[in-house]
Structure 1
């Protein structure tokens, strides 16, 4: 017997209409309010960040926002940010520094009004950033 979220928690807003994203280990999902209803209706989408996930070991953050908020003519914005390793004067990695994506490098951005285009793009970048190494040692 296969457990289905919909059966175990019927009507729960926490799981209602969530996309079935494939997320490998290493990612921490900080926020996810994406839902399949966005496929048909962009009315009322607000709270600028709809999805955010961080892979600390790979030093990537993926963020999905909706701009302008609450505008049915708005669009989804997917942004992938890489946080370079801080370096010593000799160019060696400083490993005990916390991540700060505020000063990171945007390595990809994507805009669409289509939820159906957003989800495969999001999955692609989750997969790519799970294996991508930008910097050497």
Structure 2
């Protein structure tokens, strides 16, 4: 799961702390303000909830196969969204690093290891490519 909120992500309570995330390389509010086409924090916080997959009635709709990747300590995407998505809709597979931040990253699980040991094998299985 990357870059896409499910429900909790869009709630003002989450966003007020998430925009202060030390995991993002830049000031997060200006980046998100551009995406949402808003100028103020108040506009941003008011806009988000209507994008919730729960509020839009989409969370239980059929979906393509999904691999959800996250860390319990993610400050950009709430882990609660991953668990909500796992309980609703079509079956999914999840990998959660209990010590990881965004995308499950940690000292033991840097980007390359997550990609090589979690994401690529799953993707190859989805494509019907046998792993050796």
TM-score, normalisation: structure 2: 0.28
**Larger C-alpha radius of gyration, 1 or 2?**
1
**More helix by percentage:** 2
